[in-house]
Amino acid sequence: CGGDATRDYSAAMRPADDALAFDNLPGFTRSASHFDHAVISVESRVWAGQRGWKKATTAHIVSPARGANFAMYLADMGEESSAEPAAAAVERFALVLTGEVSVRHGKKNIKLGPNTYVYFPPNSTDVLSSEDGAGLLIYERLYSAGGKPVFSHGEVEESALLPTGPEVFKLRKLLPQTADYDFNVHIMDFQPGEYLWVKEVHYNQHGLLLLEGKGIYRLGDKWYPVQAGDAIWMAPYVPQWYAALGSRPTRYVIYKDTTLDPL
């Protein structure tokens, strides 16, 4: 018998190791959107110019358009890029993911590289810029606490580890835990196999970016395999639980409107 040399069916016999190499399978995404949570994976990010951002694009992941009390977005700053201060009364937190940014704060010029953060209180006039480019995670919200939050910046690894009660994950909070602040930003580290002890249901909202590792996130009655780069929005009271899996630790960064009066 002859056979057809023009056809190659080897994709159907590919080794199991390649089975999940989806190669951007048309129409396939792990992103999901429900009334009380959303998962936004990397292939769903939509980049666009944004008012106040020069030579930069942003990809919004969470905003008041879906009922959140904050905005969470990624900023891709190009060479010679800059960001004007946030609108009046809006506070802004930035975590540097890649590259380097400069912050002009009064007479000081502060340089911030990967794994550092900066907080601008409402009505700040400080300008953020990048000479060679940078990737940032930004949280913003209309300030609502009636206190006096102040400009701050620092290195993630230098902020203190905090007690976590029955939980085994490692916890850092990047903003002061006082009533001057209406949100905080937590850095959470899990070893593979560690998981949340509390199957949390709480009034606070979350915006999460998985920075390293992989695992399973339970949101409501759904279970999501997640990996570094995935982002999650959690509405008030959505049941939430995470288990870190695989061979590497998980680190995620998470917004929490932690000191707000639930009333």
256 touching ligand UGY, by CB under 6 A: yes
How many CA atoms, within 13 angstroms, populate the side-chain half-sphere of residue 140?
20
218 touching ligand UGY, by CB under 6 A: no
200 touching Mn ion, by CB under 5 A: yes
Count of CB atoms situated within 10 Å of the CB of 99: 20
Binding part of the chain for Mn ion, among 17-25, 153-161, 199-207, 212-220 by CB under 5 A, reads 199-207
β-pair partners for 178: none
Instruction: Give the residue with the Cβ less far from Mn ion, 36 or 131.
Output: 36
Instruction: Give the residue with the Cβ less far from ligand UGY, 45 or 186.
Output: 186
Instruction: Give the residue with the Cβ less far from Mn ion, 131 or 200.
Output: 200
β-pair partners for 209: 231, 253
Binding part of the chain for Mn ion, among 42-50, 114-122, 131-139, 198-206 by CB under 5 A, reads 198-206
Least spacing, CB of residue 200 vs ligand UGY, in Å: 5
Contacts of 118 (CB under 8 A, 6+ apart): 93, 94, 101, 103, 110, 112, 128, 151, 152, 153
State the binding partner of 254 from ligand UGY, Mn ion, none, CB within 5 to 8 A by kind.
ligand UGY
Distance CA 64, CA 53 (A): 20
Closest residue to bound Mn ion by CB: 200
Distance CA 181, CA 103 (A): 21
212 touching ligand UGY, by CB under 6 A: no
Among 145, 231, 254, 257, binds ligand UGY (CB under 6 A): 254
Least spacing, CB of residue 160 vs ligand UGY, in Å: 16
Least spacing, CB of residue 69 vs ligand UGY, in Å: 15
200 touching ligand UGY, by CB under 6 A: yes
List residues near Mn ion by CB under 5 A.
200
